[in-house]
Amino acid sequence: MSRSYKIRDQQKLYFVSFATVNWIDVFTRRAYKDIFVESLHYCIKNKGLEVYAWCLMSNHAHLIIGSQGENLEHILRDLKRHTSKEITKAIASNPQESRKSWMLWLFERAGQRNPNNTHFQFWQQQNHPIELSSNEMIEQRLEYVHQNPVLAGWVEEPEHYLYSSAKDYASGKGIVEIILLT
């Protein structure tokens, strides 16, 4: 039985995950991560995105989100479209990027195989939204989001990872304005 991943109720919180095509480890450079963070800031300020938790890994992102503005699907579409263009441009113009040709070739190849794209495809199409309908589900996903960098061996404590909301939940101040789940 296939699972239907759709955002059905705009008033609910959702856990979403999305990855780069071919799970390419793009987010190994701070410049690319910062483009993602800046796009989150823009969506929060201008589109009504509410971020409750987030974590950016080397090739995927996890978010717990809601919206008091635009439709969540539209926000995610715009976030992915903008980051795709800006990060691809940053890769192409970065003289220090040793993987430039390889990554751009993979993005172009994925884009050619997808009739929805004109040139490159950076993100995989799906977001896998899961409606968080209980406190137990929220707590499980919050733990999952924040444990990703620990399980990857990047940090010993979740709040030590800069590109995550774990610091906010440890009474600190992270780099993205979030709404704490209490």
Q: What is the pLDDT of residues 82-94, one digit of tens each?
A: 999 999 999 999 9
Q: How far apart are CA 149 and CA 165, in angstroms?
A: 12
Q: How far apart are CA 162 and CA 106, in angstroms?
A: 28
Architecture of domain 14-144 in this structure: 2-Layer Sandwich (3.30)
Sign of the dihedral defined by the CA atoms of residues 59, 65, 68, 72, in that order: positive
Quote the pTM value. Answer: 0.92
Q: Residue 134, class by beta-carbon neighbours within 10 Å (0-12 exposed, 13-18 middle, 19+ buried)?
A: exposed
Q: What 3-state DSSP class applies to 12?
A: coil
Residue 1, pLDDT score? 33
Alpha helix (H) ranges present in 10-66?
A: 30-47
Percent of the residues in the chain that have a pLDDT greater than 90, as a whole number: 84
pLDDT by residue for the chain (182 residues), tens digit each?
A: 335 567 888 889 999 999 999 999 999 999 999 999 999 999 999 999 999 999 999 999 999 999 998 899 999 999 999 999 999 999 999 999 999 999 999 999 998 887 777 788 999 988 889 999 999 999 999 999 999 999 999 999 999 999 999 999 999 999 999 999 97
Q: Where are the domains of the chain?
A: 14-144
